[in-house]
Amino acid sequence: MYCMEPTPASVLTQLRKGTVDFCVLACLRSGPAYGLEIADRLRQDKVLFDSDGTLYPLLSRLRQQGWVTTTLEPSPVGPPRRYYRLTQSGEAALKVFIETWGRFAADVTTTIEDHS
């Protein structure tokens, strides 16, 4: 059996899979934003987000789930921009994530520290 050694990049990929959707929702709590603004917010420390190519499918998925809505609005330069807004359903989903995340992160930290 072939066993691949984990790398920091592969571990980050796995961690992002369950959390980036909710980080996008958190970015929208402060108000509507278009895709590039969201990407810039997520890219601040280059851990949460590293590829624009994954953002738009994620935003589409959030829209299909009813967690965000979109509107096209004029841009001061170039074509109109699609702005994403958090819905009540998205706010509720984010609230559940935040409540759950604290316990999850604490349990992971405790497990790692207890078995080091």
**Residue 23, pLDDT score:** 92
Is 107 domain-assigned? yes
Is 2 domain-assigned? no
Q: Is the confidence at residue 45, as pLDDT, over 70? A: no
Q: Is the confidence at residue 20, as pLDDT, over 80? A: yes
> pTM of the entire structure?
0.84
Domain that includes residue 50, residue range:
17-114
Can you list the alpha helix ranges (DSSP code H) found in 1-116?
8-17, 20-28, 35-42, 52-64, 88-114
Is 8 domain-assigned? no
- Which range, 50-54, 61-65, 102-106, is most confident? 61-65
Instruction: Give the domain CATH number at 57.
Output: 1.10.10.10
Q: Is the confidence at residue 102, as pLDDT, over 80? A: yes
In the chain, how many domains are there? Answer: 1
Is 4 domain-assigned? no
